[in-house]
Amino acid sequence: MKTSFIKVSAACPIVNVADIEFNLTNIQKCIKQAYAERSKFIVFPELCITAYTCSDLFSQQRLLEKSEDAIKSLCEFSENKDILIAVGSPLYFNDCLYNCAYIIFNGKLLGIVPKSYIPNYSEFYEKRWFAEGLGIINKTVDLSFASDIPFGTNLLFTCDNIKFGFEICEDLWVTIPPSSYLSLQGANIIANLSASNELVSKADYRKSLVSSQSARCMCSYLYASSGVFESSTDLVFSGHLLIGENGLLLKENNRFQRENEVITSIIDINKLNSERMKNTSFRNTNSICPFEVKEISFQFENMDFGIFDRDIDKYPFVPSDQLKREVRCAEIFNIQSSALAKRFSFTGLNKAIVGISGGLDSTLALLVIVKTFDKLKIPLKNIITITMPGFGTTDRTYLNAVNLCKNLGTDLREINIVDACLLHFKDIGHPVGKHDVTYENVQARERTQILMDLANKEGGLLIGTGDLSELALGWCTYNGDHMSMYSVNCSIPKTLVRYLVKYVADKESSKEVADILLDILDTPVSPELMPKDKSGKITQKTEDIVGPYVLHDFFLYYFMKQGATPEKILFLAKQAFIGDFEEIIIIKWFDKFIKRFFTQQFKRSALPDGPKVGTISVSPRGDLRMPSDASYNSFL
């Protein structure tokens, strides 16, 4: 029963130090809450059965007996509950006391994981009571109510493609956490039972540890720490709860709460496994891991997560936070301009040629060239901008192109392509009134021919303008706008192009330039290869033909980034675009995306160089080695 999503929880119950019955009652309340929310897994803080701050009471036989009774009661409580439970309690074994995670499911104690590293510095004195679990593997434990219970740091708890690994507090703080080894051997959900006291700024460091470990291990990382009622003598605890996934913090609580608290989030297991499959550095475990894992299998009754409350961003390429978005835009411009500067410095050329249509892509390319020339201290007059009016060019796009170039101070030239295209129609015997793909492509290739020849004449580089979304859909003319000498936008999706142009309008331009850029942003996306209407407006709108770019960028992200199935992509799209698109429309454009993505690979196989900006690129030299003749039938 392989699954993509699982709902998980981290909990901080109210505790009384050494009051085991009280603690057990509140642990059970948290389990009831998580179970009602259809969570399949819940992790509790370190030693929460007894409380972490029992100190020398840990050597009292009565405390240990009561804690074992509580584990037995918790196993009985878990019967017929489809939820995996990880709870902290001490274990007396071979004359030593261990700080452990007890893993319970449906009435059974599946295994016990000891804390590997015992802190004994600053405010921590755990070695006074506990032995290190480091190196304990493949042992078994007998308790009063169960025998032959697996015991060790090498335990993995597996349900189909979901694999749980456990570590305890200090284990995360060491140079190589146990979770690193467990992840290399398959654990995709790591849970940490912790009792981390509060100090100024420690919460921020704790979050960075959880985020970075989840990224490094390509896993989900759940962290549950002791709450305020553990606070005693010199220490204060806050009950910090965190759920991370591959570097992202999905959920965090408000600390210092004085009641039982449970946070819940949905984890995307297939996303994690897909990232691992693609990352070849993650695969080699034989020479790294000091132990082999022991897998303990169990089976969830179902994977129903109830309400799907995981946030699905409809703009996966664009940060939703404005400040982060501005930082991202600045970074992208630096990558693009630095890459282009390298090409100019290598070739020794100091002129750029670019076709300007008054549309988004050519505008972005021009802005990148301007930034590059500023870096290289090359006069902007060395940017030769060519506007090439054709049958569908409107006054709005033409004037925006002309005015933008004039305000930026480029060498603006105009070459009308109508007569050349009419002659070519005559040469190849194509009726002028037949507005088909030949009609369109003749114009696109005529423009590219002009630009290429001018680049030769002027001794400059022809800069391509096409973006990632167009390349994914093959929305370009082979050996037309598909070709250039260097392509600066080739890994920028259309949804991000808009924000990059907006960023320049808001942050890095004069009012005159900003006004032009804002009008370009407001202009419908079009190649303007079909005649304009009687009022001189655009008749050929790209998104009417191939579909909304916001959908295609969404499809592209999940198809390439995660290798997600069509069913999963459509499920996520329906969640993300509730109220924007009906299900039948989403399916329609998804099928269009798949068909064009597969059939247009031959264009991507012959792309010019261009900088990789984000994690997704369709360059045939690294990111997308795809056969040009692959069938799309299995993906519709």
- For residues 51 and 49, give the distance between their C-alpha atoms in angstroms, rounded to a whole number: 6
Alpha helices in 151-220 (DSSP H): 178-184, 202-216
Judging by beta carbons within 10 Å of its beta carbon (0-12, 13-18, 19+), is residue 441 exposed, middle or buried? middle
The answer to whether 82 is a known ligand-binding residue is: no
Retrieve residue 233's tokens.
């003598």
The answer to whether 510 is a known ligand-binding residue is: no
- 115 catalytically annotated: yes
Handedness of CA 454, 456, 461, 463 (dihedral sign): positive
The answer to whether 358 is a known ligand-binding residue is: yes
The answer to whether 285 is a known ligand-binding residue is: no
The answer to whether 347 is a known ligand-binding residue is: no
Paired with 609 in beta bridges are none
Helix H or strand E encompassing 371 = helix 360-376
294 HSE (CA, 13 A, CB side): 16
- The vertex-164 CA angle with 159 and 165, nearest 5°, equals 150
Retrieve residue 421's tokens.
């295209």
- The vertex-598 CA angle with 595 and 599, nearest 5°, equals 80
Q: Show Cβ contacts of residue 142 under 8 Å, excluding neighbours closer than 6 positions.
A: 148, 149
The answer to whether 173 is a known ligand-binding residue is: no
The answer to whether 353 is a known ligand-binding residue is: no
Q: What are phi and psi of 195, to 5 degrees?
A: -140, 75
- 169 catalytically annotated: yes
Q: Which residue type sits at 102?
A: Y
Q: Can you list the positions of beta strands (E) in 445-561? A: 461-464, 486-487
The answer to whether 478 is a known ligand-binding residue is: yes
Judging by beta carbons within 10 Å of its beta carbon (0-12, 13-18, 19+), is residue 258 exposed, middle or buried? exposed
DSSP 12: E
The answer to whether 289 is a known ligand-binding residue is: no
- 103 within 8 A of 166, measured Cβ to Cβ: yes
- 195 within 8 A of 169, measured Cβ to Cβ: yes
**Active-site position among 40, 66, 115, 163:** 115
The answer to whether 363 is a known ligand-binding residue is: no
The answer to whether 603 is a known ligand-binding residue is: yes
- For residues 221 and 251, give the distance between their C-alpha atoms in angstroms, rounded to a whole number: 11
Q: Which residue type sits at 86?
A: A
- 46 catalytically annotated: yes
Q: What are phi and psi of 421, to 5 degrees?
A: -70, -40
- For residues 41 and 78, give the distance between their C-alpha atoms in angstroms, rounded to a whole number: 12
> Measuring CA to CA, which residue among 218, 284, 263, 281 is closest to residue 245?
218
How far, rounded to the nearest angstrom, does the alpha carbon of residue 405 sit from its chain's CA centroid?
Answer: 37
Helix H or strand E encompassing 93 = strand 84-93
- 601 within 8 A of 632, measured Cβ to Cβ: no
The answer to whether 359 is a known ligand-binding residue is: yes
**β-strands 84-93, 41-43: how paired?**
parallel
**Active-site position among 12, 169, 405, 490:** 169
Q: How many CB atoms lie within 10 A of CB 318?
A: 19
Retrieve residue 626's tokens.
């795809």
**Active-site position among 7, 12, 30, 46:** 46
317-324 contacts: CB < 8 A, separation 24 or more? 317/493, 317/495, 317/496, 317/553, 317/557, 317/614, 317/616, 318/495, 318/496, 318/499
The answer to whether 547 is a known ligand-binding residue is: no
The answer to whether 360 is a known ligand-binding residue is: yes
The answer to whether 357 is a known ligand-binding residue is: yes
Q: How many CB atoms lie within 10 A of CB 419?
A: 8
Residue list for the binding site = 121, 196, 202, 355-362, 441, 465, 470, 475-478, 603
Residue list for the binding site for ATP = 355-362, 465
Residue list for the binding site for L-glutamine = 121, 196, 202
Q: Which residues are catalytic?
A: 46, 115, 169
Residue list for the binding site for deamido-NAD(+) = 441, 470, 475-478, 603
